[in-house]
Structure 1
Amino acid sequence: MRLSHDKIIHMSHLIIDALENDENAEFKEDKNEIRNEIVRIIIQELKKDEELEDRARQRIRAMQKNIPEGGQEWDVLFRKYYEEEMGKHRKVKE
């Protein structure tokens, strides 16, 4: 998923606003610093997701059979390979 920088910043403001309205949340740091960290984390996670998508696409391209992107077979393989790559990524994180 690709999001514009403005959209990511908007999301960070929504998160901070939601936390401000939560009586169980307490800010121990400056809200702007927290918002900046939220932006950084979202960008980092989106980059990781793009890398996983690229790996899934590469696996499909590496197949002997030419499978055009956007078709049903391609979509099924993409989901399968993406989930496999996501599983590998989770194992590395743990």
Structure 2
Amino acid sequence: MTRIELATEVGADIDRILAHLVEYNVENPPARIQEIIQAISVLEYNPLIGRTVNSNNRELVIGRRSHGHVALYRYLAEIDTVFVLALRSQKEAGYI
């Protein structure tokens, strides 16, 4: 099973997403954050599932539309580890 490591900056990304959900009165913001974290866990078994962004990074699309987010990550096969580098809403990432 592939190990997943979150960059320190991802904590700030999660805080920003949570604040946005609270600001717009989204129902049960902590559950929405949990859904995002659970979706990232798919990388434990499928680290190459995300689309290639450049030669080193990949993007995992999580959810869709107003529930959509994108996790930017890098997989290092040599140590069987995924490093999640950033987390953005799909709107921030320019998908919607």
TM-score over 0.5 (shorter chain): no
Structure with the bigger percentage of helix: 1
Give the TM-score normalised by structure 2: 0.30
Give the TM-score normalised by structure 1: 0.31
Computing the radius of gyration over CA atoms, which structure comes out larger, 1 or 2?
1
